[in-house]
Structure 1
Amino acid sequence: MGYFIERVKKQLQYHKKLYFVFVLEIAIGVLIFISCINVFIGWIEKTEELKSERVGKEMTVSYSNTIMNQGADEELEEAITYSDYKKLKKKYKKDLEITYAYEDRISYAFDSENLFCFSCFMMDKPMYFEIFGSQMDSNNNFIYMGENTYSIVEKIAERKKQGKELIVMEGEYFEINEDGTVSIDGFGRFVPKRIENKKGVEKIKHPSEYATEYDDYKVADCAFLPLEYLKKVKSDIRGCAMLKIKYKNNNSEVNKVPALLIDLTKAHKGIYIYTVPKKYMNLEERINNASFRIEKYFYASVCILLIVMAGMIGVMTLLLHQRRHSIAIGISYGSTIKRMFWELFAEILTVFETGGGIGLLASVFVIPFIEDMAMEKIPFTL
């Protein structure tokens, strides 16, 4: 064993200039590779932390499933139903705050010349409070109506007293009773109440099936009912279902909303539109652009390391070729090919270990500076 070590030392001494160059190359290659890995991992951790912070504070997804009757032969697909909403709410209750509304369009024809239309929104309390504040009764025993909608229902009552015919073209039948309550196709009686609009809400943002931007619905032209009424809707005209999704806290997993949207798209064949805040999308765009640059540096470092390793293999092959005469002499004096191979392998391994050790040691001092420089180049704030 001592003779083997002495032989390796002698060969290293003999090729010390060549091996010094390769030790330096390996050290630099390892340093670049380790530094890029640390920057890459640090970048992933930083972006995930920032995403979690952003989605916890700001991210809201508005999701719609709109079905329109495009042709008599086209099969209509159900929009997101009340039961769908209940299942999603139960499944994601720990991480997501989910609110729901369903819009049903209603048209009345009083005669051949007069057609009155309004939109009826059935929504849960959180979505209602978000729009109108705390104007909803805790018992949910009434209907809120915009000014124009209330006038239409009053005209219905007037025509009923006069015995005139009323045709319901689409949607549900609203009727004012003698005691002033409103009935909707036999679904109980509600005390109608006008929207006072104390918060200055004039329009409701609602996804359109024809555009990515929101359409505005005037509150004056709408009626608002408790979500429970949706169980009784029997209209043949499919309305538009809306979900608003928000993470409950900063610790929520970022992939929960995409998972929910995938669940919905698997369940329905309708037209889907979902939006997220511009700030979050801006953050995503910056992260994607910066990730592309970080990945390029990482791949470049891998290439450098592979080139160095390929060079070492080439050197080993070259040394074997140069030593063919000395190998032949050694064999004639009783040595073996296996022994000579291990001597050469020990030389190369020593070079690799020395260069790798120097590179790792240098990375301890260099990595903090490289990480700081890399992070300064990439904005983490909006």
Structure 2
Amino acid sequence: MKYMTYRIRKMIWGSKGAYSIIMLELAIGITIFVSCLNLMLTNKDILDDLRQSMAQDQTTIYHVRFAGDEVLPDDLPVRYEHYLDMEEKYGDSVKIYYGAIYSGSYFFFGNNAGADIYAINFLFLNDAMFESLFDFQPKEDRLYAGSRVLDLLKKASDQEAYNLVCWGNMEEYDTSVYSQEKTNAVCDSFRIKDGKFVLSQGHELYCEPIPDEESTPYIDRFSFEYYGTDKEAARLYIEDCVIGTADMLPLLSEDYGPLDSLLQVQYLDQAEDSSIIPAIVNWLNRERSGDNYQFTLTDRALKLEKQARDMSITIYQYMAVSLAIMAVVLIGTVGILLVILNQRKKSMAVAYCCGATPWKSFLELYGEISSVFLVGGILGLALSVGITPRLSAVESAADFYPVNIFFVILFCLAAALLCCGAALAGVDNKDPVKNLKEL
């Protein structure tokens, strides 16, 4: 073994000029390639962390209302049909939180003391939104009511005390009619019949108390939409709410006026494509021409991804150059080996005649070339360790990834094996005695 090591060192020293060029070229190629790879891996880790944070957060999509626009909408900003289309188009990439809000007002008159007014919010939520707000599973044939709503239903069901009349949405109220017809209870929008809320003719549902109402005292609409600066006005108190499922929306009477819709989306797992949420917003803007939808996600993700894509073009160009350099090195190495092996024909023939084997000769040659390649590879790694921190990734300096050391060593050993095999295949040394006589 010591003798083989001695011979390898001697052969390398004998061809030190050619091998120095190979080492230098290989070091340059590996330096460029590893530095570019570190930069790409750093960008990937930064974007993966960003996508992971996006997957953990819900992004709100707003229907923008302009200052002074106090007129109630005659349609939901995001209709139930929109929600179904979004589930079909984007449900594989994002989790959609959807809800619709309707309002109802109820007036109870008595003893000429004015009216008791109940302003009720009806929320119809899809499964994702329901699970994010409440800790119970809704039944398909039930509505869930807050404590004040249950008090309202109890009053409305007391026919002896109140003569309940239901009028349509947004109709004018003439208080003189109440006394003339002995009417002392009026509701608009969601009608009440036999203690049930009427969604539409033939669709009447009982209410159950909201379990553990205190755990969710209110829904802050700042979580769902742009609502100015009045936090109190933005809150929907659960005690004044009726909660149903989103699949009840097609059953609602057209007489009932919508108040608003809620829409949030969340990337599933890691967001491989952060352009999906902007695509949803653009799709809504096309579907509702004239309306304006925006989303809460800052453009940081899109900016970083664009920057990474632009940077990747340059990185790929440099990597292509480095691969070209290493390809030239390998081809050049094979050529140099052919020259060297032809120069060594005489000594190899003598060695074979003295008992050396082709296997031993191959091991010596492989040790020679792999040593040259490993020195060039280690030099390239050392240079990349110094260069990498000076490269700028999308948001920080690039990091050196130690796994590159393993791959560079593996590449050097495999490349040396390939070059030795190719060079030996090009040298005719099958009959060393004949070669020795010719020489």
Q: TM-score interval w.r.t. the shorter chain? A: 0.5 to 0.7
2:239 — aligned with what? 220
Contact 2:75 2:257 in 1 (8 A): no
Q: How far apart in 2 are the matches of 1:212 and 1:361?
A: 61
Which TM-score applies when normalising by structure 2?
Answer: 0.52
2:77 — aligned with what? 79
- SS in structure 1 of the partner of residue 153 of structure 2: helix
* 1:289-328 equivalent positions in 2, closer than 5 A: none
Residue-by-residue CA offset, 1:276-323 (whole Å, 9 max, x unaligned): 5xxxx69859x86xx79x98xx9xxx9xxxxxxxxxxxxxxxxxxxxx
Contact 1:203 1:219 in 2 (8 A): yes
1:55 — aligned with what? 54
* 1:352-363 equivalent positions in 2, closer than 5 A: none
1:132 — aligned with what? 134
1:257 — aligned with what? 277
The alpha-carbon distance between structure 1 residues 235 and 274, as it changes in their structure 2 partners (threshold 3 A), is: farther
| Higher deviation after alignment, 140-149 or 35-44 | 35-44
Deviation of 1:148 after TM superposition, in Å, equals 1.1
Which of residues 134, 153, 173 in structure 1 aligns to 2:190? 173
Deviation of 1:95 after TM superposition, in Å, equals 1.3
Deviation of 1:119 after TM superposition, in Å, equals 0.8
Structure 2 residue ranges without an equivalent (≥5): 1-28, 171-187, 319-376, 400-439
Contact 2:48 2:270 in 1 (8 A): no
Q: How far apart in 1 are the matches of 2:241 and 2:162?
A: 26
Which of residues 161, 180, 188 in structure 1 aligns to 2:203? 188
Residue-by-residue CA offset, 1:163-207 (whole Å, 9 max, x unaligned): 354555556223141xx5443342523221111226711111223
Q: How far apart in 1 are the matches of 2:93 and 2:203?
A: 35
Contact 1:67 1:78 in 2 (8 A): no
**Percent identical residues:** 12
* 1:370-381 equivalent positions in 2, closer than 5 A: 370-372=387-389
Q: How far apart in 2 are the matches of 1:212 and 1:369?
A: 52
Q: How far apart in 1 are the matches of 2:214 and 2:300?
A: 31
Matched, 1:44 2:65: no
- Report the residue type matching 1:371 in the other structure: T
Deviation of 1:116 after TM superposition, in Å, equals 1.9
Residue-by-residue CA offset, 1:11-32 (whole Å, 9 max, x unaligned): xxxxxxxxxxxxxxxxxxx999
1:317 — aligned with what? none
- Report the residue type matching 1:197 in the other structure: D
Q: How far apart in 1 are the matches of 2:91 and 2:257?
A: 31
Of structures 1 and 2, the one with the larger relative CO (CA 8 A, separation 6+) is 1
1:118 — aligned with what? 120
Matched, 1:150 2:150: yes
Deviation of 1:39 after TM superposition, in Å, equals 6.5
The alpha-carbon distance between structure 1 residues 379 and 175, as it changes in their structure 2 partners (threshold 3 A), is: farther
Residue-by-residue CA offset, 1:9-56 (whole Å, 9 max, x unaligned): xxxxxxxxxxxxxxxxxxxxx999989866654443233222233233
Which of residues 261, 274, 278 in structure 1 aligns to 2:295? 274
- SS in structure 2 of the partner of residue 239 of structure 1: strand
- Report the residue type matching 2:189 in the other structure: E
1:205 — aligned with what? 220
- Report the residue type matching 1:101 in the other structure: G
